[in-house]
Structure 1
Amino acid sequence: MSAKLKYRHEHKFFINYHQFHIIRSRLRSLVDKDSHAGPTGEYHIRSLYFDDVDNKALHEKLGGIHDRVKYRIRVYNVQDHVIHFEKKIKKNDYIAKVKEPLTRSMYDSILAGNYEVLNQPDKPFLMELYLEMKHKLLRPKVIVDYVREPYVSRFGNVRITFDKELRTGLHATDVFDPNLKPVRALDDNLIILEVKYDEYLPGAIRSALQLEGLNRQSASKYVICRKHLKFNTWEDF
């Protein structure tokens, strides 16, 4: 499975709304709106992040470990026709992703603690998840919720996203819960800018972004939301 992985560059920055409007204005003639975005140019993302009994993903991120993985279930616009279990693999500034679709029935089984639904030897990633849940007690930890405004360019296979209104579901673990009321996990004025590309970032786009003047961060939404959970409960890392 690893031989087929495609690694890409990924850079993250915290920006304020003033910077957002300037950067978006500069980019307009250089990139296209993502076709998956709705009439507003945005869509909603909700992810359920998993971690093991030792909180390995959390501690490796906080400890600055360069090579690490995270597991999550992701849905869009709180709809269940597209549900993916994903593994995000990080190696220094490079990322790769492995994912497998889930049915709503499979999702409900996983949430109910019936991990046998993942015991499918013909699907290596699902088997990996099954073994992680069985032997390392990989379990749901926190919901991460935000609105994404995405742009793309075929030159360099660039993807630029502005992630707004980062919220956490605190102790909730059902992404489809109609009564879920996620709370803000990041300052209202902050947006997470993510820049992903293959071998190169075209000069015109780089100039428009002016990345050198931005506040580059290790902006893990998972860690931000777990920290928010800790500071609002008795959870102990």
Structure 2
Amino acid sequence: MNKQLKFRHELKYYMNPMQYLVMKRQLSNVIKLDKHAGPTGEYHIRSLYFDDIENKALHEKLAGVRDREKYRIRIYNKSDKVIHLEKKVKFNDYVSKLKETLTREMVDSVLAGNYESFNDPSRPLLAEMYYEMKNKLLRPKVIVDYVREAYVAKEGNVRITFDKRLQTGLNQVDIFDPQLSTINAFDDDITVFEVKFDEYLPEYIRIAIQAGGLVRQSNSKYVICRKLIKFNSWEDQ
């Protein structure tokens, strides 16, 4: 395990509308809204995921490889005010994330096929992705789009999220496009429920998960959305 990274547990579940309402009611007195939540208690997330010419991130996930990583660019509330480059790392049952701030100009440049703005040795994550783009043909593959309702527990470093209305951009990678054409990722009204914690998961959360009949899932939003479009989308760019 990389000692420089802070790894956490990440549990994922699918829930129907009734399970979502019951879970919120059960936890309402012991969790509080995340500081990033808007007036409605929600905020919008749009991520542009990258993969190499061999679709390594996709195939490793489908094959059940336990140690893997993937890159994404993420914006919030369809705005370019805050843009992050993120590398998500999985090690056994733990996950970690590295993050760097980007400008709109840098992202536009990458989408246009010019990667030199990432060629910055003073910013290791950018330099790493630049290497991947130049040598392994890392390219934008799919947009993952959803609305997040996020909470934190009153004790411990525990974060709870309800991700709703999961969609993907249909053969598009312009993350800033206000007219982005999207399709639903699920046929039914499914909420992706995620629990992230360090070593301690409060017993009341564990009990609520068991009482709700939730079954842990392994599929990632990235894989779900890649499956909705042809696997060769954008691979020739």
| 1:6 lines up with 2:13 in the alignment | no
For 2:51 and 2:232, the matched residues in 1 are separated by 18
- Deviation per CA, 1:171-193: give whole Å up to 9, x if none: 11011112212110112321111
Q: 1:23 offset after TM fit, Å?
A: 0.5
Unpaired stretches in structure 1, ≥5 consecutive residues: none
Q: 1:211 offset after TM fit, Å?
A: 7.0
Q: Percent identity?
A: 61
State the 4+ residue runs in structure 1 displaced beyond 3 angstroms.
233-237
Report matched runs for 1:165-176 at 5 Å: 165-176=165-176
Q: Is the 8 A contact 1:165 1:188 kept in 2?
A: no
Unpaired stretches in structure 2, ≥5 consecutive residues: none
Please tell me the residue identity of whatever aligns with 2:50.
Answer: F
For 1:105 and 1:119, the matched residues in 2 are separated by 14
Q: Secondary structure at the match of 2:19?
A: helix
Q: Is the 8 A contact 1:46 1:144 kept in 2?
A: yes
- Deviation per CA, 1:74-124: give whole Å up to 9, x if none: 000000010001000011221000010001111111111110100001111
After superposition, the Cα gap between the structure-2 partners of 1:211 and 1:45, relative to the gap in structure 1 and judged at 3 Å, is farther
Q: Is the 8 A contact 2:170 2:181 kept in 1?
A: no
- Deviation per CA, 1:46-94: give whole Å up to 9, x if none: 0000000000000000000000001000000000010001000011221
Alignment partner, residue 36 of structure 1: 36
Q: Secondary structure at the match of 2:3?
A: helix
| 1:157 lines up with 2:157 in the alignment | yes
Q: 1:205 offset after TM fit, Å?
A: 2.3
The size of the alignment, in residue pairs, is 234
Q: Is the 8 A contact 2:68 2:91 kept in 1?
A: yes
Q: 1:199 offset after TM fit, Å?
A: 0.9
Q: TM-score, normalised by structure 2?
A: 0.94
Q: RMSD of the alignment, in Å? A: 1.7
Alignment partner, residue 138 of structure 1: 138
Q: Is the 8 A contact 2:141 2:233 kept in 1?
A: no
Alignment partner, residue 207 of structure 2: 207
After superposition, the Cα gap between the structure-2 partners of 1:160 and 1:23, relative to the gap in structure 1 and judged at 3 Å, is same
Q: 1:129 offset after TM fit, Å?
A: 0.3
| 1:27 lines up with 2:27 in the alignment | yes
Q: 1:4 offset after TM fit, Å?
A: 2.2
Q: TM-score, normalised by structure 1?
A: 0.94
For 2:175 and 2:188, the matched residues in 1 are separated by 22
For 2:58 and 2:211, the matched residues in 1 are separated by 27
Q: 1:208 offset after TM fit, Å?
A: 2.5
Q: 1:196 offset after TM fit, Å?
A: 0.3
Q: 1:213 offset after TM fit, Å?
A: 2.8
Q: 1:204 offset after TM fit, Å?
A: 2.0
Q: Is the 8 A contact 2:78 2:178 kept in 1?
A: no
Please tell me the residue identity of whatever aligns with 2:53.
Answer: V
Q: Is the 8 A contact 1:69 1:88 kept in 2?
A: yes
